[in-house]
C-alpha cells in the first residue's frame, strides 16, 4: 500500500472518494498544486502556475455537474519570489476565476522553500451530481477531447524542450459547455488526472463494474495524466443525444468501452510529473 | 510592504479580511500549518500536529459565531514519514474533528520535503456573524483566558526545553462555550493568532476606531501569538451579561480597553514561530 492510499484510508467516510464531496446542493473539493510534484518553475510562468492551479480544481467541480463559485487559497511562497512574480501568479488565478465566475473568498499565505498552492473550491450543483459510482452494465464509456497531448508536453519539458502556452500540459481545456448539457444523460463521471487507464480503474471500482474495450487506444492515450478531459458514461439509448450535444458544442467525444459485470484492473502506469 | 501583505492585496475584495468569509448562513476559512513556519517536527508529536492544524481553523470559525461542520485537508507528507506517524497525525486530526462535530469531506495528499497541512473549514452560523468591523465607540474590549503562555512554551522549545502536552503552544484551549453564549452581545471579534497588540490593531483598523487602555498588560500578554483566545468587544450596557456568561462557563475574561474615535497603532512586534 502506498502512502497516499494509506493516508486516504485514515480518513475514510461516505463523503470521500469522488472528484468532490456533495453536501446538499453544493460540492467541495481541494487539490494541491506544488513545485516539484506538479511542476518545475522553469516550465511554467507564474501566470500559468496560477491558471493551472485553478483549472485543475474547476475541472473537479465541472465533472460533478456543478458550477464553481468560491475558492479559498493557501499560498506557500518561496523566499526568492519577487513582487512582480506574485502579481503574475495572482493574475493567472484571478483571470481564471473570472472566466469561470469564481470569487476568491479567503486564504492564507506563508513563506516556504518551494512554491505551493492549495485550492479549495465550492461549487453549486446544476442538477443531479454525476458521481463515479453510477456506471451501469451496458453503458457506453467515453472521454472528451484528445488524450496524450499533456504527456507529450511534459516529455518535451523533461527533455528541456519548449512547449506552447496553449499546450494541454500548460492549460487544460475544460469541456464545461459540453458536460453541463450532457450531464442529465451521464450515469457516471470523473476527470482524467492520473491517465485514462488508472482513472477508468477508479471509476469502475467505485461502480463495481468491468469493461469491454471497443476501440483500440494508444499507450499515450491510456497513460497520459493531467489531461482534465471528462471520462463519463451514458446509456446507449442516449447515444443520439450525446452525439448531438457534442456537435452542438464542437466537442470531440470518443466512445471506447462498454461497462460489463466484473471488475477492471489496468497494468498501465499512470504518467504525470 | 511585506510579501504577505502584498499577496493579500492582489486578491482584495469585500469577502476577504475577516477570520472567515461569510456567505449566506455559512462561513469559510483556510489556514496553513506547516513545518518550519509554524512548528518543528521535534517540538510536536504527529498527533499534536494534526490536533493543532485543526484547532487553529476551528478557532477562526468559532470567533465568527459559527459551528464548524466540514473540513477539506491538503497534506504534504515528507518522504521520511512512516505509516505509524501518518496514523498518529490522522488520529490527531480525527479526534479533534470528532470533539467539535466536524466531518472531513475530502482533500489531497502529495509527497514533499516538509510536513504541511492545509485545512479549509466550513462552518454554519449560529446567529449573526461576529465580524472585525463592528466595534463601536465606548465599547469594552476584552480577551478570554490568559495570554503569554503560548510564547512561553515556544521559548522553552526554542531553548531545547520540554513542554507539557497541555501547553497552550501545543493545544490551544478554545472558548467555544463562552463565545457562543456571549455572541449575541459581541459587537466585534477575532481570534488572537499574531499577538494581542497586532490583532487589536487589525480589529480597530477594520472598525476604524482607536483605543484607550484601561488595564496594564505585560509585554508577554501583548506580544504572545498563537494563543487562539478570543479578542472581542461589547457595549458597557451588557457588562453584567458578559460577566454572568463568563462565570457560567468558567471562562476568565479580561477587559483591558475602551474603543475611542481615531486609530490604534502598535509598535509591539507580533511573536510567533
Which CATH number does the domain housing residue A236 bear? 3.90.650.10
pLDDT of residue A107: 93
- ipTM score of complex: 0.92
Instruction: Give yes or no: residues B216 and B186 share one domain.
Output: yes
Is A107 one of the annotated binding-site residues? yes
How far apart (Å, rounded) are the C-alpha atoms in residues B115 and B135?
38
A12 touching B, CB under 8 A? no
Q: Does A95 count as an annotated binding residue?
A: no
Same domain, yes or no, for A146 and A256? Answer: yes
pLDDT for the residue numbered A271: 66
The verdict on B155 and B249 lying in the same domain is yes
Which chain B residues touch A112 with a CB distance below 8 Å? 34, 36-37, 114, 116
Is residue A30 one of the residues assigned to a domain? yes
Q: Do B37 and A110 touch (CB under 8 A)?
A: yes
Final residue belonging to a domain, choices B73, B91, B125 = B125
User: pLDDT tens across A15-35, in order?
Assistant: 898 999 999 999 999 999 999
- The size of the A-B interface in CB pairs under 8 A is 170
Q: Say yes or no to pLDDT of A181 above 70.
A: yes
Q: Of B91, B125, B159, which closes a domain?
A: B125
**Do B78 and B100 belong together in one domain?**
yes
Instruction: Please report the pLDDT score of residue B30 as a whole number.
Output: 96
- Whether residue A114 is predicted with pLDDT greater than 60 in this model: the reply is yes
Are both A7 and A90 inside the same structural domain? yes
Domain boundary among B125, B160, B190: B125
Measure B4 CA to nearest chain A CA, in Å. Answer: 6
Q: Is A160 left (phi over 0), alpha (psi -120 to 50) or beta?
A: left
> Is the model's pLDDT at A1 over the cut of 70?
no
State residue B229's pLDDT score.
Answer: 98
Looking at the structure, tell me whether residues B153 and B107 fall in a common domain: no
Hey, what long-range contacts does B99-102 have (CB within 8 A, 24 or more apart)? B100/B54, B100/B58, B100/B68, B100/B176, B101/B67, B101/B68, B101/B69, B102/B54, B102/B58, B102/B68, B102/B69, B102/B70, B102/B71
CATH code for the domain of B116: 3.30.1330.10
Contact with chain A for residue B203, Cβ under 8 A: no
Residue in chain A nearest B79 by alpha carbon: A3
Partners of residue A105 in chain B, C-beta under 8 Å: 13, 15-16, 21, 23, 28
User: Tens digits of per-residue pLDDT, B21-34?
Assistant: 999 999 999 999 99
| CA A230/CA A249 separation, integer angstroms | 14
**Residue B5 near chain A (CB below 8 Å):** no
Identify the pLDDT of residue B90.
97
d(CA B143, nearest CA chain A) in Å: 24
pLDDT at B2: 81
Does residue A85 share a domain with residue A14?
A: yes
Domain membership of residue A203 (yes or no) is yes
Q: Residues 27..66 of B with a Cβ closer than 8 Å to A: which?
A: 28-32, 34, 36-38
* Closest CA of chain B from A247, distance in Å: 35
Looking at the fold, whether B26 and B119 belong to one and the same domain comes out as yes
Is A25's Cβ below 8 Å from some Cβ in B? no
pLDDT tens by residue, B170-226 = 999 999 999 999 999 999 999 999 999 999 999 999 999 999 999 999 999 999 999
- Contact call for B72 and A10, based on CB within 8 A: no
Nearest CA in chain B to A104: B11
Q: Positive or negative CA dihedral for B131, B133, B137, B141?
A: positive
- A52 found inside a domain: yes
Q: What percent of chain A has pLDDT over 90?
A: 89
Q: Do B109 and A7 touch (CB under 8 A)?
A: yes
Task: Tell me the three-class secondary structure of chain B, residue by residue.
Answer: CCHHHHHHHCCCCCCCCCCCEEECCEEEEEEEEEECCCECCCCCCHHHHHHHHHHHHHHHHHCCCEEEEEEEEEEEEECCCCHHHHHHHHHHHHHHHHHHCCEEEEEEEEEECCCEEEEEEEEEECCCCCCHHHCCCCCEEEEECCCCHHHHHHHHHHCCCCCCCCCCCCCCCCCHHHHHHHHHHEEEEEECCCCHHHHHHHHHHHHCCEEEECCCCCHHHHHECCCCCEEEEECHHHHHHHHHHHHHCCCCEEEEEEEECCCCCCCCCCECC
* Residues A53-94: tens digit of each pLDDT: 999 999 999 999 999 999 999 999 999 999 999 999 999 999
Domain identity same for B192 and B156? yes
pLDDT at A166: 86
Q: Please tell me whether residues A112 and A141 are part of one structural domain.
A: no
Could you tell me if residue A92 is inside a domain?
yes
* Consecutive 10-residue averages of pLDDT for chain B (273 residues): 84 89 96 94 96 97 98 95 96 98 95 95 98 98 96 92 90 97 98 96 97 96 96 98 98 98 87 69
Number of structural domains in chain A: 2
Rounded mean pLDDT, A246-265: 97
- Print the domain residue range for B63: 3-125
Residues B147 and B221 in one domain: yes
Amino acid at each position: 500500500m502506498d502512502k497516499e492510499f494509506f493516508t486516504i484510508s485514515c480518513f475514510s467516510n461516505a463523503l470521500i472518494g469522488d472528484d468532490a464531496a456533495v453536501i446538499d446542493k453544493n460540492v467541495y473539493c481541494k487539490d494541491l498544486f506544488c513545485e516539484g510534484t506538479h511542476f518545475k518553475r522553469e516550465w511554467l510562468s507564474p501566470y500559468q502556475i496560477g491558471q493551472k492551479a485553478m483549472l485543475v480544481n474547476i475541472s473537479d467541480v465541472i465533472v460533478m455537474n456543478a458550477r464553481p463559485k468560491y475558492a479559498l487559497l493557501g499560498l506557500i511562497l518561496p523566499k526568492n519570489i519577487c513582487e512582480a512574480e506574485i502579481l503574475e501568479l495572482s493574475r493567472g488565478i484571478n483571470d481564471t476565476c473570472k472566466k469561470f465566475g469564481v470569487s476568491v473568498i479567503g486564504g492564507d499565505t506563508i513563506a516556504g522553500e518551494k512554491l505551493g498552492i492549495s485550492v479549495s473550491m465550492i461549487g453549486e450543483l446544476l442538477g443531479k451530481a454525476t458521481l463515479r459510482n453510477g456506471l451501469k452494465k451496458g453503458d457506453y464509456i467515453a472521454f472528451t477531447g484528445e488524450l496524450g497531448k499533456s504527456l507529450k508536453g511534459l516529455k518535451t519539458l523533461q527533455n528541456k524542450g519548449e512547449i506552447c502556452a496553449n499546450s494541454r500540459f500548460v492549460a487544460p481545456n475544460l469541456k464545461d459547455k459540453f458536460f453541463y448539457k450532457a450531464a442529465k444523460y451521464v450515469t457516471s463521471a470523473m476527470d482524467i488526472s492520473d491517465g485514462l487507464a488508472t482513472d477508468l480503474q477508479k471509476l469502475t471500482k467505485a461502480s463495481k463494474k468491468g469493461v469491454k474495450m471497443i476501440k483500440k487506444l494508444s499507450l499515450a492515450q491510456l497513460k497520459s495524466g493531467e489531461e482534465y478531459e471528462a471520462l463519463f458514461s451514458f446509456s446507449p439509448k442516449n447515444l443520439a443525444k450525446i452525439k448531438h450535444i457534442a456537435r452542438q458544442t464542437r466537442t470531440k467525444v470518443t466512445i471506447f468501452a462498454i461497462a460489463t459485470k466484473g471488475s477492471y484492473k489496468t497494468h498501465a502506469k499512470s504518467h504525470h510529473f
